[in-house]
Structure formats: structure tokens, C-alpha cells
Structure 1
Amino acid sequence: MSPTPAHLLLVDDDPDFLHLLSLRLQGEGYRVSAVGSGREALAAFKRDAHDLVVTDLCMDEMDGMSLLGELQNLAPGVPVIMLTAHGTIPDAVKATRQGVYSFLTKPIDKHQLRRDITEALAFSGRAHRDEADIILTRNAKMHELLAQARQVAQSDVNVLVQGQSGTGKELLARTIHHAASRREGPFVAINCGAVPENLLESELFGHEKGAFTGAVNRKIGLFQTAEGGTLFLDEIGDMPLSLQVKLLRVLQERQVRPLGGTRDIAIDVRIISATHRDLEKAIQEERFREDLFYRLNVVSLSLPPLEERREDIPLLAKYFLKNAVQRTGKDVSGFAPEALTTLSTASWPGNVRQLENVVERTVALTAAPLIAPVLVEQALQDKTNQLPTFAEAKQQFEQEYLAQLLQITNGNVSQAAKLAKRNRTDFYKLLAKHALDHTHFQQDTP
């Protein structure tokens, strides 16, 4: 069954241009609706969903920028391509910062328009992606970041995504994948901090039957699973040094050898990695390899914390509300105005992930059509909404465990290593990883 063609909405007050553009895009295989004003465009959007809007900038009554603002409220995430017969650099900069996908000057280059429409549909998720993969934003920094991501997607370089936990690093990685030429290939993700060291190597590279105790069957690694697509290495900063060496070899040689294997297997995979850690500091502390860092960090993209994009909080909250209502079947239509204000002014140490948890909790607890401010306040105070990720919990446990060993042994590293059943060299590396100085645990004996 062939996919349903994307539905485009064209908006221009020049009927002749509108007619010609409609015919051209229909000939490209798109469903096309054409209207002569911004007001008609809004009415058309309310009647039927559209995947992309192509609009003129200069129109009577409601110009293209005003239409853009209305569309962002009505259909967040829909890509908009702006056209003008009087294009200027300030217009283009303003339009891009406010969320326009691209800005084209008339007479329109049909090849450029075709490329922009194809890329915008893929990048926004309107072509072949699930709605959950769409990044919703009204923030200027985020729009600039997405524009950078769109450019990066067209090349095949490795990308390092940096940002606090819960900011959406995997979502940005998926966005890049779906905008790239590899979009038809698989997107495979693994959290390097959530898999025990002795299993991570097998997960990444695979193993042959009998390679180690318990390897009763051959296993295909994630590098081979992601062949032709993208491998997302989340929390790369938590990868053990021993595996960093092997990962570097794979990236250099474009070949992988499964554990217990005797031959190398060629791979064609794009790497996107992510971390909330300061990798340059980790390099100085010899916890991360500098040569691997430069292999992964060909292009770096940094996601801002939610507190730096507060204008997105109502937008995201409404989106999460819609998802929660669909999932639970509850009759909830929205937030009381005061509740939205509370969300917008709250502190968000857990970023977007925490916001989603708070919204889901309020939907579960409300008995009214509108979510009251008191429910939002209760959800914000509930510490379960600030639970760490598995990797963060593992990191915290390790640090507390090491500190406890040093306290028991009065800071004696050899004894502590024996209790942990680790050799002294590995134990010293663990102490360095967690910035623990064993001398601080030594006490003078009377």
C-alpha cells in the first residue's frame, strides 16, 4: 500500500501565481489546497490537517508573519515556507528566527522549492515519522539549533549532542536521522551508561557462539543492526575507557569484529552520540580519550535547558496533555490559566522529561475538565517526578559505594579494592571517575 501523499496548503493573494504553483506541486504528487488570504488559510487548517504551508509574506489584512504566529498556536510543528517578491536579508533573518523553515524570493526556483518541501516534510516528521518524534518550539535558540541540525543532516559527519538530562538529546538525534539521506535505514539507540561494562561490548559489536561463558548463540551487534542507518550512543561520557579504545578502532577502520570472531565486518553507519557530561574536563582527568572525542565531535549541537526556553512550556504542556488524554481516555480539555502560569514559572531541573511527568500526573489525578493550579503544585513538589535516570542512579550508587568502602578501610585503597574484588589500578580509576580522594577518608588512630 503506497503512503498517502503529503497535503500542502498554498497561500497567496496573486491568483495567477497561486494557480501555477498549485499545478506544479500537484504534478509532483502532492495533495494541494490553495487559498488567497491568511484568514482563508486558518479556516482551511481548522477544516483539514495540512502537512506543510507555503505562504506569501506580503498580503493584505494578514501578512505571512501574522499567519505564521496563528499557525504556531493552531498546529505547532507544521513547517512553513515563506515566499516574497521583495526579499530582504532582515526579513529572512526575522522569519527564520520565528520558525519559518525556509525563505524564498520570487520568481521561485522550482528546484529549490522542491528540495525545501522534501526536506521540510522529512525534518518536521510530516512525511514518514511518528508525531512523537517532532520537536515543538517557539524559542529562537531552538529554531537556530534546528536549522543547524537540518544542515548537518545533509552531510554524513558524526555529531555530538550535548545538554542536560531530560532536554531531548535522543529526540534531536532522531530528527537529524529522519532529515538525512539515511532516513530509510534503521535508527538504533543504546544508553552507554545503563548497560554493564561486560555486556556493553557484546551489545555494540556482537559475539560468536561460545565467545564467553553464557554465549550459547551468535549475537548480531548494534553496529551491524544499524547498517545503512544511524547508531545513537547516548551518555557516551559514561563509556569505560577500555571500550573507548575499541570504539575508536571501529570508527577509524569502519569495520567491526564480534567477540570471539576471526574476521572484520565492514560497516556503513552514521554515529550520533550524546552526553550531559563535560567531555573536555573528562579528557583532562583522563576519563575520556581525546582522540575519540575528536572522532565523535565533528559537529557539536547543544540543547538548552527548559528554563532557557520558557515560552515552550505551555506548548509542550498542551502536547503532553493531549497524549495523556488519548492514552487514559479521561475527559480533560486543558489547564486552568493559573495552572499554566505555575508551569511556566516553575524550576525544571529535570527539563522536558520532568515536565512530561508532571503533566501525566496531573491528568491522572484531576476529576475536572480543567487541571487546577493546586494539582500542578502538588505534582511539582512530588519528588518522584525528579527521579534520576538509570545511568544517573548507577552513577550515584557507585559514588556512595566507593565512599563507604573507603570509610570502612580508613582510606586504604588496597583493602577497599579487595573488598570490591577489583585490582588497585581499576579501583584508582573509579576513584578518579567520581572525584574521590582516598586521603580524605584517612583518620589518625590514637
Structure 2
Amino acid sequence: MQQIIFIDDEAPIREAVQQWLELSDISVRTCARAEEALALLTPDFAGVVVSDVRMPGMDGLALLERLQALDAELPVIMVTGHGDVPMAVAALQQGAYDFIEKPFTPERLLGSLQRALDKRRLVCENRALRRQVSQQGRIEGQLLGVSPAMVELRRQILELATTSVNVLIRGETGSGKERVARCLHDFSRRAGKAFVALNCAAIPEQLFESELFGHESGAFTGAQGKRIGRIEHADGGSLFLDEVESLPLAQQAKLLRVLQEKSLERLGSNRSIAVDLRVISAVKPDLAAEVRAGRFREDLFYRLNVAELHIPPLRARREDIPLLFEHFAQEAAARHGREARPLAPVELARLLAHDWPGNVRELANAAERHVLGLGRGAAVASPSQSLAAQLDAFEEQCLRHALQQCRGNIAEAMTLLQLPRRTLNEKMQRYGISRGEFLQGGDE
């Protein structure tokens, strides 16, 4: 929860500031001495520090130096008397976020605080993302996202990874089906063996059999030398069949036989080769509908669809967009030797309002264009919704993101969003948002 720590040795000023901030639904903790405030702060403090410059004991500049050592990205706002303006300017040069001259109005303080809190929130979110990405040995480092849908997807993957059942993955173009398939492999007992990926839509029909099953030398014209097929290469590991709906009917029958008998024969050979593999398939359409239309074998469908995973489209988990965009922007910046420029609020609003028909792949492209300075890109240049609809979508996602961050705690969400309870309740009712969606195990 974001919070303000306000430090001033004068009790009337502390009391006035506390009253101003609490009337604006901002959580504040006041301290009379810098030493008292230091005891409350950690590197992950999610708020902002406001401190008087001249105080007995440790003064504001000494406190700033200590806070810079603790966390160089922590916003510190200095409060100064008229005669101390040169000192405040020096503080800015040392890393202070802003300075406010006494006497100041509530509006002046609130304006500076709002900007500082926004900056701190982004810093904390980016750190959380970097921690998630750095967890290479954990699934959170492979499948990024804080939305309930992604939390549930990761849980399902880890549960299925302990088994060897065949899995069917459903998801739109660009939603990350191969990444999910790799997680199923990487977190399974088969992780030490091969993960073999095959896009069924990218192989000419006449080459399918050789590609899948391999061939012996001379099996057909041009077959020079023995070839190990994809299925045999995946022995002991996982075979990923992307766009499996494109598999020709003739090859569907042969794949079914391999799965039933757990063996194959290379083209031009009568010798059976035992294979042990897990088949992970991915489809865009409803494969059951393909079966009903006669384009896919029903018996193979049941072999492949022992368990099913559904990847939600990006538009259904918009709270993941800022984290994913930051991740892709950092990757693009590293590739191109550029600086990843932070998103302006209007740019973030545009990202959240877009429907992302190309899903995560489209978002990665937009992040790269952003890093290269190529503007918004076609992906987000032409909103598919009216301005009112985009603003509603943005507001809804802000509410959902805050409630997710606060794990359904209404009081914390009120503080984070700076909304009175009645307004928050009305907005939640308007968008059909229930507090229960964001409660985690043990929370009440």
C-alpha cells in the first residue's frame, strides 16, 4: 500500500499536513525526527518521503543522503523556509524529487505528491517484474503476469507437468501457446530430454510423413541417407504440434497408430522403433468443431485432448499489459543498445484501451517500436472503440489492477486510488467488479 511519511519537528505543521492528506484519502505517517522515520523505511517502501530541511539532530540533507543509500529511486520531497531555497536546490542536485517552500498550500503539496506517488508505483511494479523475470528456475519467470487468469494458468501447468498426459492448448494467434508448451516440458520429469516443435501448417503435405517419421536411405527419390523424424527425435521428451488442426487426415491416422502402439516405422523400413513421448498440441479453432466437420479424426482428438489448457487473450487480462510491455521494452532496448523510455500516462491509457488482436506478439512489437522511437505503431494508432469506451476500459482496468495489488482489501484500494468508499463501491458496481475475485487463500 502506498503511504506518505512526513517529517517535521513542528507539531502544528505535522497535524495540518496529516489532516490535509487524510481528507484526500492518502495514508500518512508523521514523524518529529529524521531518525524516527529511518526506522520505518525499507528498500521496498511503496510510498514517498516528505521532510523538512532544518530539524534538530539529523537534518533533511543528511536524511536525503541516508535515503539515497537505502534506495536511490525513492522520491524524497524537501520542505524549506524562504531563506533555505539555495539549500533546497542543492538537495535537488543530490537526488531529491522536489522541494516545496513554506508556507505552502494543500494543492501545492498534493500536486507534487501525486506525481511522486505515480513514479514510485511504476518503480515498484518494474522491480516486481524484474524479480519475476529473474526467477529463471520458477514458472513465474517463464510466464509473466499478475492477473488471476495467469496465476490460474501457471497453477494448471505445474499440476499437469507432474503427469505424462497429452495436453491440448487453445489460444488465439500470438497468445503464447509455444511458451506454455515449453513450460509443460521444462517443469516436468522430461525436462532433460528434447523438446521438439513442429508447425503443422508450415510443412507441405508431401513432406509430412518423412518429417514426422523419418526415412531410410533410398526410401524415395532424393532420399539420400537416413533421416531421424521429429517423433523419434522427441523420444523421452515432448513433441509440440502447433496448429495441429492442419495435420493432413492421412498423417492423422499414422500419428494415432504411433500413440496407440508407442512405436513407429521409418519410411522404407519394416523395423519398429519404440518411442516414449508426450504430445502437446496447440490449436486456434475449436478442435471439437473440426471433428464435427469431418476435418479431424475423432479418435485422435481424444488421444491428444486428455487435458486442455486455455490461454486467455490479452484483452481479457489487461492488468498484465504494463508489466509485459516493460519486459518487452527492456529486451528490445538491450538488443538495440537503446534506453527504454518510460511510458507517459497517455501512452499507457492507449495501451490499456487497445484490444490487441495479435495478443502478446503484437504487444512485443509495439514495445520494440516504442524503444526505437517509431511512434505508437499501427497496433495502437487506430483505436477500435469510441473515446468514451476507451476511457471506461482504462478506468475499469485501473480499478482491477488496484484491487489485485491490494488482494481485495477495500481500504487499501481506496488509499491507492485516492477514492472515497462510496465512489469506489459505485464504480465497482458499474463495471461488475466483485471484491471476492481478488481475495487469495486465507484472506477475508
Q: TM-score, normalised by structure 1?
A: 0.57
Q: Secondary structure, in 3 states, of the residue corresponding to 1:161?
A: strand
Q: Secondary structure, in 3 states, of the residue corresponding to 2:219?
A: coil
Residue of 188, 191, 194 corresponding to 2:199: 191
Give the equivalent residue in structure 2 for 1:324: 332
For the pair 1:124 / 2:139, whether they are aligned, the reply is yes
How far the C-alpha of 1:252 sits from its partner, in A, is 0.5
Q: Which has the higher contact order (CA 8 A, sep 6+)?
A: 2
Residue of 255, 260, 264 corresponding to 1:252: 260
For the pair 1:76 / 2:84, whether they are aligned, the reply is no
AA aligned opposite 2:289: K
CA distance 1:71–1:188, change in 2 (3 Å): farther
Q: Distance in 2 between matches of 1:262 and 1:239?
A: 24
For the pair 1:288 / 2:303, whether they are aligned, the reply is no
CA distance 1:41–1:365, change in 2 (3 Å): closer
Residue of 314, 318, 323 corresponding to 2:322: 314
How far the C-alpha of 1:79 sits from its partner, in A, is 6.4
Q: Secondary structure, in 3 states, of the residue corresponding to 2:184?
A: helix
For the pair 1:335 / 2:343, whether they are aligned, the reply is yes
Give the equivalent residue in structure 2 for 1:200: 208
How far the C-alpha of 1:203 sits from its partner, in A, is 1.1
Q: Distance in 1 between matches of 2:127 and 2:372?
A: 25
CA distance 1:340–1:240, change in 2 (3 Å): same
Q: Secondary structure, in 3 states, of the residue corresponding to 2:183?
A: helix
For the pair 1:39 / 2:42, whether they are aligned, the reply is yes
Q: Distance in 2 between matches of 1:216 and 1:365?
A: 50
Give the equivalent residue in structure 2 for 1:266: 274
In the TM superposition, what are the counterparts of 1:348-359 in structure 2 within 5 Å?
Answer: 348-359=356-367
For the pair 1:362 / 2:365, whether they are aligned, the reply is no
C-alpha distance after superposition, 1:70-126 (max 9, x if no partner): 97641327569xxxxxxxxxxxxxxxxxxxxxxxxxxxxxxxxxxxxxxx9644276
Contact 1:192 1:235 in 2 (8 A): yes
Q: Distance in 1 between matches of 2:284 and 2:347?
A: 30
Give the equivalent residue in structure 2 for 1:140: 148
CA distance 1:210–1:329, change in 2 (3 Å): same
AA aligned opposite 1:343: L
Give the equivalent residue in structure 1 for 2:310: 302
Unaligned runs of 5+ in 2: 1-38, 46-66, 73-121, 383-444
How far the C-alpha of 1:364 sits from its partner, in A, is 2.3
C-alpha distance after superposition, 1:301-337 (max 9, x if no partner): 0001110011111111111100110000123332222
Contact 1:77 1:124 in 2 (8 A): no
Report the more deviating stretch, 340-349 or 319-328: 340-349
Give the equivalent residue in structure 1 for 2:376: 376
AA aligned opposite 2:222: G
Q: Distance in 2 between matches of 1:302 and 1:287?
A: 22
In the TM superposition, what are the counterparts of 1:145-164 in structure 2 within 5 Å?
Answer: 145-164=153-172
Residue of 212, 219, 225 corresponding to 1:211: 219
AA aligned opposite 1:124: I
Give the alignment's Cα RMSD to 1 decimal: 2.8
How far the C-alpha of 1:242 sits from its partner, in A, is 0.6
Q: Secondary structure, in 3 states, of the residue corresponding to 1:271?
A: strand
> Percent of pairs identical after alignment?
45
Contact 1:160 1:274 in 2 (8 A): yes
Contact 1:123 1:150 in 2 (8 A): no
Q: Distance in 1 between matches of 2:240 and 2:70?
A: 36
Q: Distance in 1 between matches of 2:220 and 2:130?
A: 48
In the TM superposition, what are the counterparts of 1:21-40 in structure 2 within 5 Å?
Answer: 39=42
Moved over 6 A (4+): 41-47
Q: Distance in 1 between matches of 2:227 and 2:280?
A: 23
Q: Distance in 1 between matches of 2:140 and 2:313?
A: 23
AA aligned opposite 1:221: G
Q: Secondary structure, in 3 states, of the residue corresponding to 1:252?
A: helix
In the TM superposition, what are the counterparts of 1:102-121 in structure 2 within 5 Å?
Answer: none
Q: Secondary structure, in 3 states, of the residue corresponding to 1:273?
A: strand
Q: Distance in 1 between matches of 2:136 and 2:369?
A: 33
Q: Distance in 2 between matches of 1:144 and 1:124?
A: 12
Unaligned runs of 5+ in 1: 1-35, 48-68, 81-119, 127-133, 367-374, 383-446
C-alpha distance after superposition, 1:232-290 (max 9, x if no partner): 01110111111000000000011011111111100111111110011111111110001
Q: Secondary structure, in 3 states, of the residue corresponding to 1:295?
A: helix
How far the C-alpha of 1:379 sits from its partner, in A, is 4.8
CA distance 1:200–1:136, change in 2 (3 Å): same
Q: Distance in 2 between matches of 1:211 and 1:37?
A: 76
How far the C-alpha of 1:345 sits from its partner, in A, is 0.8
Contact 2:132 2:144 in 1 (8 A): no
Q: Distance in 1 between matches of 2:259 and 2:208?
A: 17
Q: Distance in 2 between matches of 1:275 and 1:378?
A: 26
Give the equivalent residue in structure 2 for 1:415: none
AA aligned opposite 1:39: T
